[in-house]
Amino acid sequence: MDQRQQHITDETPGAARYEPREAGHRRVNRAGAWAAALLLAAVSVVVGCRAADRDAMTPVPQLLAFLPWLLAPTAAALLLALLARWRTGLVWGVVVLGALAWYMEPYGPSGSTGGPAGAPVSGVRVLTSNVQFSRGTNALIDTVTRHRPDLVFVEECGRPCRDALDRESLRTRYPHRQAVAADGSEGSMILSRFPLKGAPTVTGTMGMPAAVADVRGHGVRLQLAHPMPPLPDQVGVWRAELGRLADAARAGEGPGITAGDFNATQDHAAFRRLLGAGGLHDAARLTGRARTPSWPSTAPGPLGTQIDHVLVTDDFSADRSRFIRLADTDHRALLVDLTLHG
């Protein structure tokens, strides 16, 4: 065997060991890049709909409700792109991360932009609570007794809830009522310390009563909100019912409060259109609590989303808001201290 043949024989086993290892690295990098691309593509669709002011179709509305959660798959995609040494993916991931950070900022004016014109007329304390098929009624009554709100908006208030709220002590404090009497999730009620006049109910799958409260001689429109949630087969209904709430807000004149379980967040275009239609402001945003979760109440820390809101017209300033954990319901109650200005 000559020297050239000996060289080939000596090098061949080493080459056989090296080439498969290099090919394995390429396969792993390619798989990591594909996984990163799939994650970034999914997040980009949701962020793109947010930027285009569209709720689109399932699963976009459901994912928009939890927009801050999309930081997790974006971070995972960036890590995969880094391990795969995929430069395009790294740039893509940074852009998506920046867009998420931008849209996670609270939407709408803050309380620092100046309050409403006119002298203060009256303080108005508002409580809204979804009692989940009447199960959280007793906890709601305890909260009402403790905090003594002037107006109480109750969603999913069926017969057991209505009977409990009809107790003599509550009737004395809240002699004025406006309700959609129905069982299960369809029942709703407004309790008021102020005199009420009836107003047209917004049509919806679940009850959304309305009234006009006499607050020291000033008529204040009250609207309870409880549109259908954006379930995969109910997105059209959800969008239509939020649109009806927007129409009602647009048609109203003077001071107004719209409160309840909107099944929508600031990241939903349909909710932002509602705010714009009636010149409404989210009281939680005005008091610096824009992304405080209200549902599900069992979710730890920041893992929930805020779908319960108190929206007010320019006639109100918001002084304080608190999200209160109630037993036996999957929603936190929202308590807001408002001031009506003349």
Task: Give the pTM.
Answer: 0.91
CA 316 to CA 339: how far, in whole Å?
5
pLDDT of residue 110: 79
Nearest Cα residue to 154 out of 170, 172, 133? 133
* Helix, strand, or coil (residue 124): strand
Using the CB atoms, write b or e for 289-311: b if 16+ within 10 Å.
bbbbbbbebeeeeeebbbbbbbb
Q: Would you place residue 12 in the very low, low, confident or very high pLDDT band (cuts 50, 70, 90)?
A: very low
CA 224 to CA 216: how far, in whole Å?
21
pLDDT of residue 13: 47
pLDDT of residue 303: 84
pLDDT 10s digits, 219-237: 999 999 999 999 999 999 9
What mean pLDDT do residues 254-261 have?
A: 97
